[in-house]
Structure 1
Amino acid sequence: MKGTILVVDDERNQREILGSILKSEGYSPLLAGSGAEALRALEREPVDLVLTDLVMPGMTGEELIDAVHARNPGVPILLTSAYGTIQTAVDAIKKGAYYYFEKPVDRARLLIIIERAIENLRLRESHRVLSEKLFPGAPAIIGDTSEIREIKRILPRIAKSEATVLLRGESGTGKEVIARNIHALSDRAHAPFLAVNCASLPEALIESELFGHERGAFTGAHRREIGLFEAAEGGTIFLDEISEVKRGIQAKLLRVLQDREIRRLGGKENITANVRIIAATNRELEEAVKGGRFGADLFYRLNILKLTLPPLRERISDIPALAKHFLDKHGEKGVPPVREITKDAMRLMMCYPWPGNIRELSSAIERAVVLAEEGMITPAELPPEVRGEKEPSPTEPSMSHQYELPPRGIDFEKMEESLLRQAVELSGGVNTRGAELLRMSYKTYVYRLKKFGIIPS
């Protein structure tokens, strides 16, 4: 058989005609008269494609798309309707449909699209399996939107090059995942991949951290230490939040890119740096160059191969697959283990804009797994903001949003430390973002992190 296809239509004659066409072409058709019947069929047998009517009593075709993708991310869905418009087709594709047909459906065209959809599904699956066998250290790149497909397409060519790569995108869009895949696909895969968040390193330590130091280079330097560039010899170094690096360090990075040499802090000898640099930023570096905060020479050296990662709100159809990936990762931590996301929960996740992008989605799934009591994630386990509920904000002037001091008082320092640690977690270690979350100046925020030993003083 060429594949199993689930045909969903409330008109018996229509679904039987489609079933007969598919069977004559070597497919194995499953017939269902409603969305609910289709979901029961999916529980009994895996399918390679779903062909469904758009307008049906009870569950509509659009609702069925949500339900199918919540259970089987990646399964292509074809929609048919006798009441279609151009807008209907656009909305269907946005929802995650692979293709849209107006009734009566042209047989030849239908069979071509079905063959193409199933072939794409199997190619993606074989690529995933091959990637996991060949590059077990590289995290999977999840998604099938046009932007993600293009990144996957060109990634092997970028990996085989030795050119510097600049990854751009909002925080949490998966820049380090892309960097790790570039390394894993490259000829440097046998050597180390080292990642450093430039924004999380204190200015006084970043030079020593990157380039190392000689004994006596500064107070407390009791022995020689190599830096990350030497530790990554033959491999790749990933410089995240490169826009936060000060001009003095920028000049030293430029020298690495131009001359492939470093010099330890306090040292007199140049050391060859056989390392590929991948940099990342969530800011517009061109604006930083115009403002004099980032060197033009370094920018042009970094901006040789540029990849821009889309925010999650522009990849809505990828949310079911990403959610399933994180459920597979975290689900066994639940008591009992959590292996399902309900249709209503998935719909809420697909309507939420995810300002924290993929990182926020991962955290939401991990949180939901801990809270789930019946082995599935329902809307109740999702964060309030995903459910569309507004949480009280301490910055609002209303008295109902003020913190009340308990009669027995509180340990203020413990509360302060807890808030600081939460800010570090939410910001991904980016100090500028952490300071914004707590409405502090950058200097005050860093001072308090050092005070509680959260970062080195």
Structure 2
Amino acid sequence: MSRPKILIVDDNVKFIDDLSLLLGSSYECFSACTGEEGLANLAKKNYDLLLLDIDLGDGMDGFDVMDFLAEQEIKLPIIIVSHDHSIPTVVRALKKGAYDYIGKKPDLAEVRVILDRAMQEFGFKRDSEFYRDELRRQSGDLIGMSPAIQTIREQIAHIADTPTNVLITGESGTGKEIVAKQIHYSSQRRDKPFIPLNCAAIPKELFESELFGHERGAFTHAYKRRLGKFELADRGTIFLDEIAELDPSMQAKLLRVIQDKNIQRVGGDDFKNVNVRIIAATNHDLKVMVDGKQFREDFYYRLNVFPISIPPLRERREDIPLLVELFIKQKGEELKKNITSISQEALAGLLNYDWPGNVRELENMVERAVILAKGEQLLPVYFTELKCPKMSDPIDYHIAKKQAEENFQRDFIPRMIKLADGNISKAAEQMGITRQGLQKMLKNLGMDSD
């Protein structure tokens, strides 16, 4: 299960560390601070891709490295990473065989797409088992056994392999991007790009360039052609978060893209066809905004073909024990803390809290508690926001988890039996268990299997 090997040659150690951290989950990163050291590394190990700076201080520069590789007929994709965006430098690098040229403050999503395309063109194929694991890692987990979460899972299963646009609604922190990723990575587009874009974070004057790209010379500092998010997401999915913040003029342009399925770069004359699935998300009521003339009605109906609503955490409290278990494990590993459990009183406090920040707030609260913890158990004192009174009838963590599982089973099993037209054997087969196992579950839940 090998990851692609990338050699980063740059005289800025901090930049190497930052880039390695960003790419490290998907690529095995190696580094060198001089051209000579980079060539020595290339002589000892086979790499799948080279990220190369032009200005390497004293000694060989990036062009010298490229010349030597050409002389030795060492062939691998080379991506130039440099502060120097001058046209002569860019042209010279591309003429010498560079696959692409990016700046020192790259867009991570764009970098990943460029790296993947470069390696695909050079014949690199990822190990299939690693790739599946990586897709699962990127998509995140939709944690919960509540009826609401099970309904969302069913909706994802229905919509995943269609090209239909999806509108995800829910309060901040409920996990809208996780649902979007689940849709993408459950679909036939799973091995194509998933490109997220926060509509509220892009200045109005840059939005068109960000979405559709621009040609060289389209405006000041447009030193080279830049692909927009739609081209980067071609044959994949674009996730437009906080879509309610989108300027009306851009709503009109996006509406045209949805209808015509093509884009035009800023400063360009040609139209390019794109095959992109759009998933949008918002914590606003767009129908109310449409009624108030704050959001285009035609654009709203184009987005809202298949709506998915995520309920706030306070309306699915039975999911809290499972989420806490996950976050304790994740944060313990990240922070190198051996946390094994949460106390009964602390869990009771979490179950009674209203969670205005939803799952994100719960995750942050657990992380803070893990940092403060002095032993292996999370205690009420580590949750300063909560009131965690001692319980006369304390709620044991494992009991709460078992209750959540039972609630899930009581909702899920009848649905499966109904889908199987009442046939217990068929329902068991669809669930991946034996008929006897399903009958035992029904008996334990006090449900009739006849």
Query: In the TM superposition, what is the alpha-carbon distance from 1:333 to its structure 2 partner?
Result: 3.8
Verify the 8 A CA contact 1:334 1:372 in the aligned structure 2: no
Q: Which residue of 2 aligns with 1:313?
A: 314
Alignment of 1:227-376 (within 5 A): 227-334=228-335, 336-376=337-377
Counterpart contact for 2:155–2:308, Cα < 8 Å: no
- Deviation, 1:358, is 0.5
DSSP 3-state at the match of 2:192: coil
**Displacement of 1:135:** 4.0
2:150 equivalent in structure 1 = 149
CA distance in 1, matches of 2:311, 2:370: 27
Look up the SS of the partner of 1:279 in the other structure. Answer: strand
CA separation of 1:367/1:284 partners in 2, compared to 1, >3 Å: closer, same or farther? Answer: same
Partner of 1:177: 178
CA distance in 1, matches of 2:136, 2:144: 18
8 Å contact 2:210–2:229 — kept in the other structure? yes
Question: Residue in 2 aligned with 1:385?
Answer: 385
* Cross-structure match for 1:196: 197
Determine the structure 2 residue equivalent to 1:211: 212
Task: Give me the whole-angstrom Cα distance separating, in 2, the residues matched to 1:134 and 1:296.
Answer: 35
Partners of 2:135 and 2:198 in 1: how far apart? 28
Q: Is the 8 A contact 1:336 1:373 kept in 2?
A: no
User: 1:386 is matched by which residue type in structure 2?
Assistant: L
* Aligned pairs (5 A) from 1:26-41: none
Q: Percent identity?
A: 46
Whether contact under 8 Å (2:346, 2:388) holds in the other structure is no
SS at structure 2 position matched to 1:297: helix
The 3-state SS of whatever aligns with 1:160 is coil
For residues 428-447 of structure 1, what are the structure 2 equivalents within 5 Å? Answer: none
1:239–1:279 contact (8 Å) kept in structure 2 = yes
Distance 1:134 1:274, change over 3 A: closer
- Taking a change above 3 Å as real, the CA distance of residues 292 and 336 of structure 1, as seen in their structure-2 partners, is closer
User: Whole-Å Cα distance in 1 between the matches of residues 301 and 345 of structure 2?
Assistant: 47
Instruction: Tell me the residue number matched to 2:138.
Output: 137
Separation in 1 of the partners of 2:258 and 2:154?
A: 27
Asked if the contact 2:337–2:370 (Cα under 8 Å) also holds between the matched residues in 1, the reply is no
Q: Tell me if structure 2 keeps the 8 A contact 1:335–1:370.
A: no
Q: CA RMSD in A?
A: 1.8
Alignment of 1:73-88 (within 5 A): none
Query: Shift of residue 206 of structure 1?
Result: 1.6
Q: 1:336 deviation in Å? A: 4.0
Q: Is the 8 A contact 1:197 1:239 kept in 2?
A: yes
Distance 1:225 1:283 in 2: 32
TM-score (norm 1): 0.54
SS of residue paired to 1:141:
coil
Separation (CA, whole Å) in 2 of partners of 1:317 and 1:229: 39
Deviation at 1:132, TM superposition (A): 7.0
**Cα deviation code 1:377-397 (max 9, x no counterpart):** 111111x322379xxxxxxxx
Deviations 1:411-444 (A, max 9, x none): xxxxxxxxxxxxxxxxxxxxxxxxxxxxxxxxxx
In the other structure, the counterpart of 1:42 is none
Moved over 6 A (4+): 131-134
Question: How far does residue 201 in structure 1 lie from its aligned partner after superposition?
Answer: 1.3
Deviation for aligned residue 1:153 = 1.6
Change (3 A) 1:385 1:188: same
Structure 1: unaligned runs, 5 residues or longer: 1-130, 390-457
In structure 1, what is the equivalent of residue 6 of structure 2? none
Q: Secondary structure at the match of 2:227?
A: coil
- Aligned in 2, Cα 1:161/1:364: closer, same or farther, shift over 3 Å? same
- For residues 186 and 348 of structure 1, the distance between their equivalents in structure 2, rounded to whole angstroms, comes to 39
SS in 2 for 1:274: coil
Structure 1 counterpart of 2:295, which letter? F
- Partners of 1:213 and 1:266 within 8 A in 2: yes
Q: 1:242/1:347 Cα in 2 relative to 1: closer, same or farther (>3 Å)?
A: same
CA contact (8 A) 1:332 1:338 kept: no
CA distance in 2, matches of 1:351, 1:161: 40
Shift of 1:339: 2.1
8 Å CA contact retained: 2:348, 2:388: no
CA contact 2:212–2:263 (8 Å) conserved in 1: yes
Q: Are the structure 2 counterparts of residues 140 and 269 from structure 1 closer, same or farther at C-alpha, using a change threshold of 3 Å? A: same
Question: Could you tell me which residue of structure 2 aligns to residue 105 of structure 1?
Answer: none
The residue type paired with residue 355 of structure 1 is P
C-alpha change, 1:133 and 1:204, in structure 2 (3 Å) is closer
Q: What is the CA distance between 1:334 and its match in structure 2? A: 4.3
The aligned amino acid for 2:144 is G
Q: 1:380 to 1:201 in 2, by over 3 A?
A: same
Secondary structure at 1:199 match in 2: coil
Alpha-carbon offset, residue 332 of structure 1? 2.3
Which amino acid is 1:161 matched to? T
The letter of the residue matching 2:288 is E
Indicate if the aligned counterparts of 1:211 and 1:229 stay in contact, CA closer than 8 A: yes
Secondary structure of residue in 1 paired with 2:157: helix
Q: Shift in Å at residue 239 of structure 1?
A: 0.3
Matched residues in 2 for 1:134 and 1:265: separation? 33
CA distance in 1 between counterparts of 2:136 and 2:336 reads 32
